[in-house]
Structure 1
């Protein structure tokens, strides 16, 4: 799902980089041939649907004659994984590949620790296979250094179908409908909205609300361009007020709850709805639930014509072994292969990032997501998810997280005060 929110550790500086590699080279060269042939992959796919997807990738790499060495770091937000990655890079012993994305790819590129996989990309025509809004993110100075594996739609609302039937309601298309439905669910003794009390979940929910309240043009100006007047303006205030209103329809035991546990509340019927990217579908699938029957997946209120995307990707790090380099290229090729794109995304709940795929095996949620992605591309309403590391620097994103998390938890702070703080946060360096 996502990489981290909050104050992420930044990559080591150039001086530190040179020092640690000088210190670490002897240890790396001392590794035996058996170890050097291993392709160590750092990732944070540890929940049910995600772990199943990671296993598929491992098996496919093994079939190519390479040895996958699993480096799974628990923590759905990816913060723990990024801390582990920094530690390994500083030690001069990075993994062969690591699950990172967005501006973080460029930052690691600036450190000189990533390796080009452009020969694989050219041979297989990645520029024609990957949407341009995504391919640019995977490149450093015009060279592919990372490979995308999927496209997640973030602005999703997941609904327990039986809960909705109990209050005789339809999936809410507007915020007024959403709150009327939430009120009816609460009166029926059902928690209307499941959420985990973690900053990244607060941020993702707010991002989705802001898109639904203000639209794609507002979202772009506020969170991509970081326009000061937009961040402080009346539409942002309205978005913050709408976001805070949701809190009254959540449960009090949310603090520290992981996202997949919140999804479990919707699956079991303990809660009715959840704002979450479509990696949540993997949890429904593992539980044997059927879209359209057991649960509904719809665009969040007001955001039907827009699409916030989050892309999982793997960046490749410089290693000192020809065997591992061969394994890295095998892995890069696998990630964009039609077979992997199909199997992986069926498990993960996302849609293939490779364009032109046959989606006949995918369910209605995925097919709708793919159609909406194409439509948003044509309309200019396809926007990257700032809450999932696709836009801003870790410093700005972390500052936004703090503002949103504090606003969610502070009943005395006004929406205008929070908007003003967002404008200040956008200047974080």
Structure 2
């Protein structure tokens, strides 16, 4: 009993010390969450941190894939003026850590027991040489198909579960005067569609060999040719205004019933929710055709940069702890459309889309069908990923390039160092 009282007193004292220190702390946070659902999610993190007495300096750079944000970040780091935290993920975390600019946050991870709260596949991405250098925020499923049930009813079509069914539904939507597939012509969006086609046509093992291991034989195989042919056919069901369109504007087309479907990660759900729409009633979430038993994941995370000011370092550590807290994980992911990265969370407040996503995340981790998204920077180094995405977009936008020519381009791009 005496020991328990002593521990309680120590905890209270530590809390008072933290409260005193935290008043002066400021965290500048670089992110690209600027659309409706995303902005609400970012506000939740800001509120959580301000609740600890810190100042939040927002450093938002628009652009769904984060390319613009990374350009700005590089110039800031080179000039010796890095933010406290920046939205970085996947292999890029290792690349930044190798530059010696990221902070070791093992003390926070150990105090908060991150190793027992994160799936190993996620924890390993957050570490460099065994040390935590980033805090994971969520798990996004990328291989989703979003559909407007009213549009489908009007067209007399059913939500597809295979690519053959997808084209049948697309033809019916088109005949009813509805744009079959809402798409934004940016290379990360092109590749989001491409990897769902690759997973649906080729399966998880082919996906891993071709797009994660970049196996040349798989990249030049008949399966890849079939993937590319199917992918190009999807393009024919997009509208002429697709090039350059932001992803959330494509989602808005489905929300309004101007388009029937969108192939996009579950951040799209955040847009439906922000528009006051209810899952199962106003919109349908389904695995992308042919991918029901697979899961392409995208884990958002914040890399912590080395800081000199002690008060700001304290604020940074509080930010890392706040990101993994149950309260924040719930509020943030309810707004973002994703699921908590923290295991064993109560999902009572989450909708059926999220519950299905969570179940499939756990199941596919056991079967080997849990695969990283290339389009969202989780699978291969940035140079190769960029080159492959460029090759895929060239094919998507070309009237003349054949699938065989595209295969050769992609295989060459995969060798980019």
TM-score normalised according to structure 2 size: 0.94
CA deviation after TM superposition for structure 1 residue 401, in Å: 1.1
Q: Give the alignment partner of residue 292 of structure 2, picking from 267, 282, 304.
A: 304
After TM superposition, list the pairs within 5 Å mapping 1:171-250 onto structure 2: 171-250=159-238
Task: State the 1:169 CA deviation.
Answer: 2.3
Q: Pick from 235, 250, 254: which aligns with 1:266?
A: 254
* Structure 1 residue 168 displacement after superposition: 2.3
Q: Distance in 2 between matches of 1:107 and 1:36?
A: 31
Question: Whole-Å Cα distance in 2 between the matches of residues 393 and 377 of structure 1?
Answer: 22
- Cα deviations by residue, 1:34-61 (Å, 9 ceiling, x for unpaired): 9973111111100000000101100110
Match of 1:254 in 2: 242
CA–CA distance in 2 between the matches of 1:34 and 1:90?
28
The equivalent residue for 1:383 is 371
Measure the CA separation in 1 of the matches of 2:285 and 2:137. Answer: 22
Aligned pair partner of 1:162 in 146, 150, 169: 150
- Choose the corresponding residue for 1:143, options 119, 124, 131: 131
After superposition, what is the alpha-carbon deviation per residue over 1:14-49, rounded to whole angstroms, capped at 9, x for unaligned?
xxxxxxxxxxxxxxxxxxx99973111111100000
Q: What CA deviation, in whole Å up to 9, does each residue of 1:209-239 have, x standing for no partner?
A: 1000001000000111110000010111100
1:404 correspondence with 2:392: yes
Q: Which whole-Å CA distance do the structure 2 matches of 1:301 and 1:373 have between them?
A: 17
- Give, in whole Å, the separation in 2 of the partners of 1:423 and 1:152: 28
Gaps of 5+ in 2: 1-20
Q: 2:143 touches 2:264 (CA, 8 Å); kept in 1?
A: yes
Are residue 280 (structure 1) and residue 259 (structure 2) matched?
A: no
Q: What is residue 27 of structure 1 aligned with on the other side?
A: none
1:104 aligns with 2:83: no
Matched, 1:81 2:72: no
Which consecutive segments of 4 or more residues in structure 1 shift more than 4 A?
33-36
Match of 1:71 in 2: 59
**2:24–2:54 contact (8 Å) kept in structure 1:** no
For these two proteins, the number of residue pairs brought into alignment is 397
Query: Is 1:61 aligned to 2:49, yes or no?
Result: yes
Contact 2:22 2:315 in 1 (8 A): no
Structure 2 CA distance for aligned equivalents of residues 186 and 168 of structure 1: 11
Q: Which runs of 5+ in 1 are unaligned?
A: 1-32
CA–CA distance in 2 between the matches of 1:241 and 1:177? Answer: 16
When structure 1 is superposed on structure 2, of 370-379 and 276-285 the one drifting more is: 370-379
Q: Using the TM superposition, give the Cα deviation of residue 372 of structure 1 relative to its aligned residue in structure 2, in angstroms.
A: 0.8
**TM value normalised by structure 1:** 0.91
CA RMSD of superposed structures (Å): 1.3
Shift of 1:275: 0.3
Q: What SS does structure 2 have at the residue aligned with 1:388?
A: coil
Please state whether the residue corresponding to 1:214 is helix, strand or coil.
Answer: helix
Match of 1:416 in 2: 404
Task: Please give the alpha-carbon distance, in whole angstroms, between the structure 1 residues aligned to 2:100 and 2:206.
Answer: 36
The answer for the alignment partner of 2:12 in structure 1 is none
Q: Select between 398-407 and 166-175 the one with higher mean Cα deviation.
A: 166-175
